């Protein structure tokens, strides 16, 4: 597991208070929810949100029987747990998204919003998600697009060196990437997903607009502009609905977690421990106060 790409760690951060609460991002929150509702089936069996953080979007998953909030940060998951209470539908799982601790073919729906920009190896992540997706399942992905109006204007004015039209990702700050829409589609297809409907989101993410125009007006305008996503993608945020091929096998009944080191299915936790039954592995993982911790073995 030491050979995996670097992961952006929000452990102990004040992300919720610093970035969302009272920070003037009601517009972004509302338009992202509109896009999510348009692309995510309202009901289903199993859903996982990759990079769920403090559970900002958890109330959007009311129609699902089992919901996994997955994140690398234990502290953010504890915030989500505190906020959502003892709802038995939710499972809080800490781990590395390059070594997902789940059996193959488990999730009918996967959601990833505002986290792909931290993926140093997006193809490796897509391969993991394709592995745990149920045949025929839906993967709703949001990514930060490098081919947006602001970047194009800056490039034309020679205020930035990288081209918004070049397909390779750009790392503008360490472990912060923008992606070209076509590059994302190509990598999703290589992983086995079938990219479909696209929505363009956050067209009016400008401080001056958010100060001068009522949020409700911007949200209504953005909701209409999202529908242009299948023709062009010039907004800073793009959503794409992907379907997993119908071939393959769904997870065997009664299986859920798998050892992230060797992928052997794990049994039920006993005394806060989830031991790997593979004699060549023998790693033991932790369940503590409702949080499944697969970041490091005990």
pTM for this structure?
Answer: 0.96
**Residue owning tokens 């065997």:** 252
Q: Cβ(8)–Cβ(175) under 8 Å? A: yes
The Cα–Cα gap between 214 and 27 comes to 9
Paired sense of beta strands 170-173 and 64-71, if any:
unpaired
* DSSP secondary structure letter of residue 292: E
* DSSP secondary structure letter of residue 131: H
Domain 15-256: CATH class, spelled out: alpha beta
Phi/psi region, residue 174 (left: phi>0; alpha: psi -120 to 50; beta: rest), is beta
pLDDT truncated to tens, each residue of the chain (298 aa)? 457 899 999 999 999 999 998 899 999 999 999 999 999 999 999 999 999 999 999 999 999 999 999 999 999 999 999 999 889 999 999 999 999 999 999 999 999 999 999 999 999 999 999 999 999 999 999 999 999 999 999 999 999 999 999 999 999 999 999 999 999 999 999 999 999 999 999 999 999 999 999 999 999 999 999 999 999 999 999 999 999 999 899 999 999 999 999 999 999 999 999 999 999 999 999 999 999 999 999 9
End-to-end CA distance of the chain: 14
DSSP 42-97: S-EEEEEEET-TTTTTGGGGTTEEEEEEEES-HHHHHHHHHHHTT-TTEEEEE--T
């Amino acid at each position: 597991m030491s050979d995996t790409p670097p992961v952006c760690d929000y452990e102990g951060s004040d992300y919720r208070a610093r970035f969302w609460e009272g920070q003037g991002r009601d517009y972004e929150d509302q338009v992202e929810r509109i896009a999510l509702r348009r692309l995510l089936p309202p009901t289903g069996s199993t859903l996982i949100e990759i990079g769920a953080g403090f559970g900002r979007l958890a109330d959007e998953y009311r129609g699902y029987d089992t919901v996994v909030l997955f994140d690398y940060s234990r502290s953010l998951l504890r915030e989500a747990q505190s906020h959502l209470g003892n709802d038995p539908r939710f499972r809080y799982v800490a781990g590395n998204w390059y070594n997902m601790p789940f059996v193959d073919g488990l999730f009918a729906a996967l959601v990833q919003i505002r986290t792909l920009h931290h993926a140093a190896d997006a193809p490796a992540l897509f391969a993991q998600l394709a592995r745990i997706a149920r045949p025929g399942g839906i993967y709703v992905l949001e990514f930060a697009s490098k081919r947006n109006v602001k970047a194009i204007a800056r490039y034309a004015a020679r205020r930035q060196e990288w081209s918004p039209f070049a397909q390779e990702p750009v790392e503008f700050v360490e472990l912060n990437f923008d992606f070209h829409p076509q590059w994302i589609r190509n990598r999703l297809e290589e992983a086995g997903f079938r990219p479909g409907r696209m929505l363009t989101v956050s067209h009016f993410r400008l401080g001056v607009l958010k100060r001068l125009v009522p949020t409700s007006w911007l949200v209504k305008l953005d909701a209409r502009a999202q529908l242009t996503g299948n023709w062009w993608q010039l907004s800073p945020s793009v959503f794409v609905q992907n379907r997993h091929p119908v071939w393959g096998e769904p997870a065997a009944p009664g299986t859920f977690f798998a050892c992230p080191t060797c992928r052997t299915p794990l049994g039920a936790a006993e005394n806060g421990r989830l031991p790997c039954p593979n004699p060549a592995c023998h790693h033991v993982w932790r369940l503590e106060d409702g949080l499944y911790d697969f970041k490091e073995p005990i």
